[in-house]
Structure 1
């Protein structure tokens, strides 16, 4: 694999993202604002920057190898029932074998943080994708929305890897949930970009104005939730149970606002921009797919579970 960091985002580089404040550092709102702004300008590029910035935060929290200037890191942590990526320990460290799905930046990332099975446990590993034993799998990414994110499968065959943290640490740390809100900050940026099209075309049509008002109210609510959540994270970044509830709430509110925005902009403007404006049409397709990083009712059920069991911590 070769690096393609220059094409990640038109104005922000991975090196810029690596310098953003870490979650819980006292400037979490600034971090999420940077993500929102990047996604508003370029949703796919913002999504790749979000992963790189998350990798910086993860490796800092779990004392793993830090991303270096000129590198682009992905976080490949999807765990479908099959296929399974496994790790085995050798005299020289760990190696990874198997196929990993949903690998955003499969061809452009220089490194990745990858979850893999170690016996009955799941652990996180850092992999230099420029080394031996890794290869993107052709013809495994057919998406129209988020097509440019290049999120196909990657095969690992004896790929050298460095374990990051103890088994299970990636999921049980409170920072996992702070990172989940970073994704929502990108959703919000994409939704604002979709709404920009309505702002440009609203004119004095009363129905378009009504849709604009509703969109503005929904996005204002999302922005307020992100601001409140950032303050809460900075006050107590280590409370994993609160972080889980907070992330589920924020993602639900932002997803609802983004979904309403896509729907209302389409109803207000009709099919014209979706059919005649390639940039807008691609943005709507990208955001529609990106929002499905939410697991919908499954995530809401998890929120309900967390609320009904206040004695559970980091679960």
Structure 2
């Protein structure tokens, strides 16, 4: 049996370490006023756990747990989804600060990509994956040197290593690994004018004959099943922030209950609970079928989480008014950051792809073995 709601020991250890640091700064999570120093210190703690956080689609682990009752002592055998453990960590980090979550998710994703393309010798340090393309001066790689421009590079001044995509002369997707502590790298932060996610150190990076290494086979980055598994990890960040924003409504209702708060709380609680179960289902599916990309259901998950995130921000505002947006630094920062972060979803384009993939699925399996399934959504 998959232990979906069982304690996550790794998450417990991370929470203990992070929240001890926050307390040492005379703060609490719910009223956190974050500084650049505290943000970096939290990130350093998290990076220290990198090798303990499972890669997506890495299966399940079985744990035997002792359980005592009033009449008996027995051992319970529980199975833990490694993908869910990873997402739980990401969701927790997002509930603290979405800038940290952005950096840490990118770091973990880069390490998992390297693992998936067969490169398991990644040097220690902070990593990022930069995959945006379309600049007029694209990345070029010749004789071990990289030149050109990469846009939307979060953490550009901080990371030790960048893992970035480029298109070769045949138009095939390739991956480069570059040590960011080299001359010939120009980091331009002037174009990043965001209010939400403003502290992510997102820059346009220009490379001038900088040493780099090609990793993985042609198109391996896009064609691996893990491309979509990683996309679900981003949605876990959105979900963690949305759930945290909604938790302020629970706190307010407990402190001063009224019917309107209860109604709004019921609305967002239902949406979050359904999405939570969908995460559990997809984590189990990914771990049981790791070679499948599960693109359709992950696209659907991301679309659903985006909708729930927008709902959480709207409902919290309707129920609580302006006060937390103006007087609580943690709530205000999460709300502003999440509004920008969910734009990693591509809205109508993603819904178009969901429609196309749903049509393909319907064409492939219009009936089950009994011939009674009329459509792909039938129970």
Aligned residue in 2 for 1:223? 276
Q: What are the Cα deviations for residues 251-294 of structure 1, in whole angstroms up to 9, with x where unaligned? A: 11111111110110011111122122232211100000000000
C-alpha displacement of 1:6: 7.1
Give matches, 1:24-103, under 5 Å.
Answer: 24-26=57-59, 27-64=82-119, 66-69=121-124, 71-79=125-133, 81-90=134-143, 93=144, 95-103=145-153
Return 156-165 or 131-140, whichever deviates more.
131-140
Greater Rg over alpha carbons, structure: 2
Aligned to 1:186: 237
Query: Structure with the greater relative contact order (CA < 8 A, sep ≥ 6): 1 or 2?
Result: 1
Select 2:162's aligned residue among 103, 112, 118.
112
After TM superposition, the structure 1 = structure 2 runs for residues 216-255 of structure 1, keeping only pairs within 5 Å, are 216-240=269-293, 243-255=294-306
Deviations 1:147-189 (A, max 9, x none): 1111121111112111121221111111000000000001011
Counterpart CA distance in 2 for 1:39 and 1:100 is 26
Instruction: Give unpaired runs (5+ residues) of structure 2.
Output: 1-36, 60-81, 365-379
Residue 205, structure 1, aligned to residue 238, structure 2: no
Aligned match of 2:16: none
Are the counterparts in 1 of residues 139 and 150 from structure 2 also a CA contact under 8 Å?
A: no
* Pair 1:128 & 2:128 matched: no
> Which residue of structure 2 lines up, in the alignment, with residue 151 of structure 1?
202
CA distance 1:113–1:250, change in 2 (3 Å): same
TM-score by length of 1: 0.90
- The answer to whether residue 195 in structure 2 is matched with residue 137 in structure 1 is no
CA contact (8 A) 1:37 1:189 kept: yes
Q: What TM-score results when the alignment is normalised by the length of structure 2?
A: 0.76
Alignment partner, residue 374 of structure 2 = none
Give the superposed CA RMSD: 2.0
Cα-to-partner distance string for 1:296-315 (whole Å, 9 max, x where unaligned): 11011111222222489xxx
Moved beyond 6 Å, runs of 4+? none
Distance 1:180 1:84 in 2: 27
> What is the Cα deviation at residue 50 of structure 1?
0.7
What is the number of equivalent residue pairs in this alignment? 302
Cα-to-partner distance string for 1:22-71 (whole Å, 9 max, x where unaligned): 111121111111111111122211121111111111000102364433x1
Distance verdict in 2 for CA 1:135–1:8, change over 3 Å? farther
Residues 113 and 225 of structure 1, relative CA distance in 2, 3 Å threshold: same
Match of 1:9 in 2: 42
CA distance in 2, matches of 1:212, 1:5: 32
- 136 and 253 in structure 1: CA distance in 2 versus 1, 3 angstrom threshold: same
Counterpart-to-counterpart distance in 2, 1:55 and 1:207: 45
Instruction: Report deviation, 1:20.
Output: 0.5
Q: CA deviation at 1:136?
A: 1.2
> Counterparts of 1:166 and 1:153 in 2: how far apart (Å)?
26
Q: Counterparts of 1:76 and 1:308 in 2: how far apart (Å)?
A: 32
